[in-house]
Structure 1
Amino acid sequence: MASILSNPIEYLKGVGPLRAELLQKELGIHTFQDLLEHFPYRHVDRTKINLIREIDASTEFIQVVGRIVSVDLVGDKRSRRLVAGLRDSSGVLELVWFQGIHGVQKLVQVGGEFLVYGRVSFFQGSPQLTHPEIEVLHGQHVTPPDFLEPVYPTTEKLKVRGLGGRQLGKLTQTLFNMLKEKDLPENLPASALTWPDPETGRPMGFLSRYEAYRQAHFPTQPMLFRQAVDRLKFEELFMAQLRLGLIKSKRHRSSHGVVFGQVGEFFNRFYTHYLPFELTGAQKRVLKEIRRDTGSGRQMNRLLQGDVGSGKTMVALLSMLLALDNGFQACLMAPTEILARQHYEGIAALLKDMPVEVRLLTGSSRSKSRKEVLGMASEGRLHILIGTHAVLEEAVQFQRLGLAIVDEQHRFGVAQRARLWNKAAVPPHVLVMTATPIPRTLAMTAYGDLDYSVMDELPPGRQPISTVHRYEDRRPQVMDFIRHEIGKGRQVYVIFPLIEESEKVDYENLMKGYENVKAWFPEPKYWISMVHGRQSNEERDTNMQRFLKGDTQIMVATTVIEVGVNVPNATVMVIESAEKFGLSQLHQLRGRVGRGTEKSFCILLTSPRLGKEARERMSILTETNNGFKIAEKDLEIRGPGDIEGTRQSGLLNFKLANIVQDKYWLELARDRVMELLDKDPDLAMEENRALKAFLQSQHGKTAWSKIS
């Protein structure tokens, strides 16, 4: 039987077809349920009627009943205001209007009795209410409401049609007069409805679902409002975690994968003889997780997030050798040609003394080498293929693809990645890597359907990068410092932002910056490479190679070098107009230096006129090199919807919950969901029947995206 909450909004008393159309367009309110989930943004306490003498310096709002004793028009035409005196049994209060004076004059007459509510301000030491809300009493007795009055978000178009914040409250009240407890039945199992108080640890009970909605809209006291909102936030987060948990649980049980049953000659030989450094504890832990996944008989779907320079590429290589040991091929896909070539050169050099065939395939691969690569892959003679989007082409077929690795995964769409998985009869194991640290709370919501690994240690020998913030007027000292580093045989990046709407303006800014750098570092004593998005792939590659080989000491670039470029001899990163970059992007750029054993530096150059947020970003970067701390801060400052690399989906579109502020409820919801799915992965038990029915009733209302 359909619930009353599924009724179209036009059937609610006071709405009708015209208002319904506006509510749908302006606020997305189509049904009674949508109105129920349109929550107030604040509450007004009109439960008490005060006396005027009770006003003191701490009074913020007041509601009084009194009689108008004076009405005066004050000031000239330009600064006219209407001033009325309202008297109750304890004193007189001044009411002031600057706008709509003509209409107010008709209403506010001497001798009239009014209920008045407004924010208290003081003028020359006396309290007054400016533009108060007023209601004519006509001698009747006033009974204040027994709940805090809600004020709802609305729009100008709705206000014109008499649907301001308070009028929406009247409609919601009409709805609640129709609702019974059975219309909002419990959907959470009893086991989820108690929780440990974070301060005392004592078990606490949530409000019932019906009561939580009622108190969230029309609270009878502030404490009950807080309890109601906590219950509804927990429910939102619980449902989000449950949906993700069900996707993950189903994949774990039903997605068959090839089995990497042994660690053999390729892995052991490389590990024993050619591994260039001792693995970090984090790398060993992640390799164990990958071994467990790939040996389980189900498809691995793992997100590997590691800070810049944490050694993800080495984990990728060892995982590919594991595939080879079990008779399978592997491929690694990178978002840009520069990064793909760099992966290829690094991996080919590490494997040069081993019988492993590694090849590169990009959009600019010559037809002869492309033909050779395609033949080797389809015949099984090619062990490892490294490439760009070119790997996804129909012509690329493997004989036995067992492992697909995607670097900087957020640069590829879901549909693109899925084409990789279709290149084998049994879908290959999938490892997606990102150097953009994802805060734990975001990972739990946006990537909760994946298994995920975190690498939070730097390989031995790496020194932390020193980051400093300098204003424009310190440019000569910065240039002297660069000269000093180049004198020691080091190399330098100078990065310019891409910020303008117009590519032409960006290009002009870059060229101006390039000329400035040349003026400070003239040829032939210094040589400079320049890399930007307008160049052809060939020109960009040539300039990059000159810097990689040390033929140029300075690289002037836009953010095209943000991801993956590895020049161990580069020890200085200068970021021009650093205030125009986001936190995560600045951290990514900084990670281009500090890749060798020498001490490295990042210099943030900004204009002296900085906003509060920009100043905060500079301060965070100079204080810490920890990408995870930076990502948490970025999430706090910008909010979850704007973080680069998150999957934009219904997962983060919560009505009340906020994954930054409600971390406690998020973690509690996740723990409860994991306990529940361990016991009852199909929600078949009696106690979870209501939960299953609720999920089915919500089907299709949330956009879930899966990685493969």
Structure 2
Amino acid sequence: MTDKKKWNHLKSEIKFLKGVGEHRAKLLNKLGIFTINDLMEFFPRDYINRQASTKISSLRYNENFSFVGVIVSIEKRNLSRGKTQLNVVVSDGDDYLFLTWFRFGNWFVKQFETGKQIWVSGFVTEFKSNPQIIHPEIEVLGEDEKQSFWHSRNVLPVYSLTEGISMNVMRNLIMKAFELYSKEIEETLPEYIIKKFGFEPRYSSIQKMHFTQHPQEVSKLKVRYAFEELFYTQLMLARSRKHHNQKKNGHNFVLKKTYTSILKDSLSFDLTSAQKRVIREIVTDMNSERQMNRLLQGDVGSGKTIVTVFAMLLACENGYQAVIMVPTEILAEQHYYSINALLQNQPDIKIGLLKGGVSKAKKEMKEKIRQGDINIIIGTHALIQKDVIFHKAGLIVIDEQHRFGVEQRAELSRKNKNPDLLYLSATPIPRSLALTVYGDLEVSIIDEMPPGRKPIKTLWHNSEKSKIVYEKVLEQLKTGSQIYIVCPLIEESEKIDLLDAESLFQMLSTKVYSDYNVALLHGRMKTKEKDEIMENFKDGKIDVLVSTTVIEVGIDVPNATVMIIQHAERFGLSQLHQLRGRVGRGAEKSYCYLIVYPPISADGRERLNIMVETNDGFKIAEKDLEIRGPGDFFGTAQSGLPIMKHANLVRDQELLQQARILAQEIIEQDFSLKSEKNQILAETYFDTFLEKEKLFDY
């Protein structure tokens, strides 16, 4: 094994690499590069072949296209309202391709010179019978390369960048890292796994990823790194699951059919078969001698609340308290009122609401919880405060669980002796992803909607039709319905040319909807102010709510029938689906209008079309994962699990299964990874994953 001093070079912070420093380190951090090893594993996302013979005549409209050509003309045109347009024409010697930008700085224009070689990549459209790419990705070749290592290379790596880090800088930093530390690259997979899958050793494969002159070999090399990510994650989950299943520390609840039967008999509707199946799965867990550790997934409106209440009552009829933690106070209040309504004929069940802040009422509630006078406790993160002591918590439910850090979830679950744990998610997660992210949990899915729920009619329009859409939904306002309008930004930005919520609010409240009560909601407002606006909207005092994405998860407003999403091309599919789910909660037909602004990428069109085609959250989640890859699928890095840099959980499902099976076999035979053949596994795993594993030990 390499000595400790040498290994520390790869683990040292990126700022210590020659040519980086404090300022560049912060920029690289934005790309997920924190150590020198991270930089080495920051693989190219594409390659430029200077000698490539791709011809413009081979391109297809409405598809992505990449090629190397020569700049033949540059034109900067002034448009109305002080805006400008940049047109650059490139040629392969026979045909021409038109490149157009509507947003650019002077520094950007200066890099273009006629006669220079340029690499171009983007989505091809047609303009006046000519092929055109709007806002393409480009690199003017030969810039800042003279006398450098890269100048003589026919194939150049293309990296994802952030503002302040140019392609030339990134390539040179990569080169410097390998010049200084390539001899310290260590193997992270044992020999028997490398042979089993035919992988190339890490030392040579990681260098080929950056410096290859044969891009066709890269796809095979990438498989190794995708497998490695999946495998070590599965190894951690296999250890956590085995450890959890060995502990017989559950409460062994008995289904006494007292409170639970009263609830069942009082319902004015029939449970769906999916709800019945999931209730049986939860009851079986709670009846066992092992602590329940289950994720309950269900699309917006699928009926997770009633299933959760059945589980809570099972704990209550065995003399235990049931606790539910939610991310916002307004959601806590919504749960409090809806659960009270469901249990109004069961006065023996005392329900308590614990929110943030300091008050006499809060102090009294904490005392009632400690004494056991409250059976069902509903609250926010205030529940994890040290002075909140449960009398006898038997079930802990965490709603919208991805909104909490794994440390917060673990902290709540440790407050009492081994309570059963139920996690709720309204963000449907494809099974392939659930296997990876929640491999230590059992997973229940409510995959059926209650009968009578009307699908939301979804349409997408170009931005020039915004006025028509606003006028069209006036008809909805006249009938007494309410409207959500979502913008990606709070206020106007010099850096990003987007419609902002404040400007739109001013325009709508003074012109289009001046006869109606229009309100503005955004994340910079204080919690009390936000809650007051949402309460007024719920009570019908506000007709039109202009908001940022803070309403993505929120309260039920059955009277809201229209959702308009500005700059819909900038949102992910799952987020669009969550926003759309704010409407369609009442008996009236509901509509969702997606307003888009050019340029629209091929992926953007695909997202918009799938929203129009289906209301099924699971289909949408699967497609979202396929389009943008796993990344940080939940919109948060708090899950306690690594963000996948190399694996794609749609493309790599077969690889995932192989990794999962192998990880389970290894942990069954060698839980502590003490055998000689697993020495490299032990070194890599305990160095990287042991702290994360502890978070799953409830």
User: TM-score, normalised to structure 2's length?
Assistant: 0.69
- How far off is 1:436 after superposition? 2.1
Aligned mates of 2:560, 2:168 — CA distance in 1: 60
- How far off is 1:362 after superposition? 1.5
Correspondences of 1:181-192 after superposition (within 5 Å): 187=190
Q: Is the 8 A contact 2:232 2:685 kept in 1?
A: no
Q: Is the 8 A contact 1:332 1:405 kept in 2?
A: yes
Q: Is the 8 A contact 1:257 1:298 kept in 2?
A: yes
Task: Name the counterpart of 1:114.
Answer: none
Task: Name the counterpart of 2:239.
Answer: 246
Structure 1 residues 603 and 8: alpha-carbon distance in aligned structure 2, compared to 1, 3 A threshold: same
Task: Name the counterpart of 1:22.
Answer: 18
Q: In the alignment, residue 8 of structure 1 is paired with which amino acid?
A: K
Task: Name the counterpart of 1:73.
Answer: none
Q: Does 1:478 align with 2:469?
A: yes
Alignment deviations for residues 197-243 of structure 1 (CA, whole Å, 9 cap, x no partner): xxxxxxxx635868995996799999987656545543442232112
Pick the aligned partner of 2:371 from 379, 382, 385: 379
Runs of 5+ in structure 1 lacking a partner?
Answer: 13-18, 46-54, 60-98, 100-118, 120-129, 136-147, 195-204
Alignment deviations for residues 291-346 of structure 1 (CA, whole Å, 9 cap, x no partner): 23222223223232322222222222111111112111011111112111111111
Task: Name the counterpart of 1:142.
Answer: none
Pick the aligned partner of 2:307 from 297, 305, 315: 315
Q: In the alignment, residue 701 of structure 1 is paired with which amino acid?
A: T
Alignment deviations for residues 132-185 of structure 1 (CA, whole Å, 9 cap, x no partner): x999xxxxxxxxxxxx9997789999999997878988999x959xx9xxx969
Q: Does 1:415 align with 2:435?
A: no
Pick the aligned partner of 1:286 from 278, 293, 296: 278
- How far off is 1:373 after superposition? 2.1
Aligned mates of 1:421, 1:617 — CA distance in 2: 38
Task: Name the counterpart of 2:128.
Answer: none
Q: Does 1:277 align with 2:269?
A: yes
For the residue of structure 2 that corresponds to 1:436, the secondary structure is coil
Structure 1 residues 645 and 410: alpha-carbon distance in aligned structure 2, compared to 1, 3 A threshold: farther
Q: Does 1:596 align with 2:589?
A: no
- How far off is 1:34 after superposition? 9.3
For the residue of structure 2 that corresponds to 1:700, the secondary structure is helix
- How far off is 1:406 after superposition? 1.5
Aligned mates of 2:52, 2:357 — CA distance in 1: 76
Runs of 5+ in structure 2 lacking a partner?
Answer: 56-110, 112-118, 120-140, 148-152
Q: Give the RMSD, CA atoms, in angstroms.
A: 4.9
- How far off is 1:670 after superposition? 1.5
Structure 1 residues 314 and 394: alpha-carbon distance in aligned structure 2, compared to 1, 3 A threshold: same
Aligned mates of 1:187, 1:283 — CA distance in 2: 45
- How far off is 1:384 after superposition? 0.6
Pick the aligned partner of 2:6 from 8, 15, 18: 8
- How far off is 1:491 after superposition? 2.8
Q: In the alignment, residue 419 of structure 2 is paired with which amino acid?
A: P
Q: Is the 8 A contact 1:490 1:571 kept in 2?
A: yes
Q: Is the 8 A contact 1:211 1:228 kept in 2?
A: no
Q: In the alignment, residue 487 of structure 2 is paired with which amino acid?
A: F
For the residue of structure 2 that corresponds to 1:377, the secondary structure is helix
Q: Is the 8 A contact 2:395 2:421 kept in 1?
A: yes
Q: Does 1:257 align with 2:250?
A: yes
User: TM-score, normalised to structure 1's length?
Assistant: 0.69
Q: Is the 8 A contact 2:486 2:501 kept in 1?
A: no
Aligned mates of 1:162, 1:483 — CA distance in 2: 54
Task: Name the counterpart of 2:681.
Answer: 694
Aligned mates of 2:319, 2:295 — CA distance in 1: 24
Q: In the alignment, residue 700 of structure 1 is paired with which amino acid?
A: D
Correspondences of 1:210-609 after superposition (within 5 Å): 229-231=222-224, 233-254=226-247, 256-271=249-264, 273-354=265-346, 355-363=348-356, 367=360, 369-424=361-416, 426-500=417-491, 509-510=501-502, 512-517=504-509, 519-523=511-515, 526-528=516-518, 530-533=520-523, 537-607=527-597
Aligned mates of 2:503, 2:34 — CA distance in 1: 51
Q: In the alignment, residue 553 of structure 2 is paired with which amino acid?
A: V
Pick the aligned partner of 2:656 from 663, 666, 669: 666
For the residue of structure 2 that corresponds to 1:468, the secondary structure is strand
Residue correspondences, number: 587
Task: Name the counterpart of 1:116.
Answer: none
Q: Which moved more, 1:326-335 or 1:273-282?
A: 273-282
Identity across the alignment (%): 39
For the residue of structure 2 that corresponds to 1:593, the secondary structure is coil
Q: Is the 8 A contact 1:193 1:206 kept in 2?
A: yes
- How far off is 1:689 after superposition? 4.9
Aligned mates of 1:495, 1:223 — CA distance in 2: 43
Aligned mates of 1:362, 1:30 — CA distance in 2: 40
For the residue of structure 1 that corresponds to 2:692, the secondary structure is coil
Aligned mates of 1:466, 1:185 — CA distance in 2: 51
Task: Name the counterpart of 1:200.
Answer: none
Aligned mates of 1:502, 1:11 — CA distance in 2: 41
Aligned mates of 1:479, 1:161 — CA distance in 2: 46
Aligned mates of 1:134, 1:166 — CA distance in 2: 15
Q: Is the 8 A contact 1:404 1:431 kept in 2?
A: yes
Q: Which moved more, 1:209-218 or 1:581-590?
A: 209-218
For the residue of structure 1 that corresponds to 2:473, the secondary structure is helix
Pick the aligned partner of 1:704 from 666, 683, 692: 692
Q: In the alignment, residue 260 of structure 1 is paired with which amino acid?
A: F
Task: Name the counterpart of 1:81.
Answer: none
Structure 1 residues 337 and 41: alpha-carbon distance in aligned structure 2, compared to 1, 3 A threshold: closer
- How far off is 1:625 after superposition? 1.9
Q: In the alignment, residue 345 of structure 2 is paired with which amino acid?
A: D
Q: Which moved more, 1:298-307 or 1:216-225?
A: 216-225
Q: Which moved more, 1:444-453 or 1:427-436?
A: 444-453
- How far off is 1:412 after superposition? 2.2
Structure 1 residues 527 and 293: alpha-carbon distance in aligned structure 2, compared to 1, 3 A threshold: same
Q: Is the 8 A contact 1:306 1:436 kept in 2?
A: yes
Q: In the alignment, residue 250 of structure 2 is paired with which amino acid?
A: G
Q: Is the 8 A contact 2:430 2:618 kept in 1?
A: yes
For the residue of structure 2 that corresponds to 1:494, the secondary structure is strand
Aligned mates of 1:153, 1:515 — CA distance in 2: 43
Aligned mates of 1:285, 1:267 — CA distance in 2: 16
- How far off is 1:347 after superposition? 0.8
Task: Name the counterpart of 1:680.
Answer: 669
Aligned mates of 1:450, 1:187 — CA distance in 2: 28
Aligned mates of 2:52, 2:382 — CA distance in 1: 73
- How far off is 1:547 after superposition? 3.1
- How far off is 1:466 after superposition? 0.9
Aligned mates of 1:277, 1:292 — CA distance in 2: 24
Structure 1 residues 473 and 222: alpha-carbon distance in aligned structure 2, compared to 1, 3 A threshold: closer
Structure 1 residues 43 and 643: alpha-carbon distance in aligned structure 2, compared to 1, 3 A threshold: closer
Aligned mates of 1:491, 1:629 — CA distance in 2: 28
Task: Name the counterpart of 1:48.
Answer: none
Aligned mates of 2:383, 2:8 — CA distance in 1: 53
Aligned mates of 1:577, 1:36 — CA distance in 2: 36
Aligned mates of 1:466, 1:509 — CA distance in 2: 24
Q: In the alignment, residue 282 of structure 1 is paired with which amino acid?
A: A
- How far off is 1:462 after superposition? 0.9
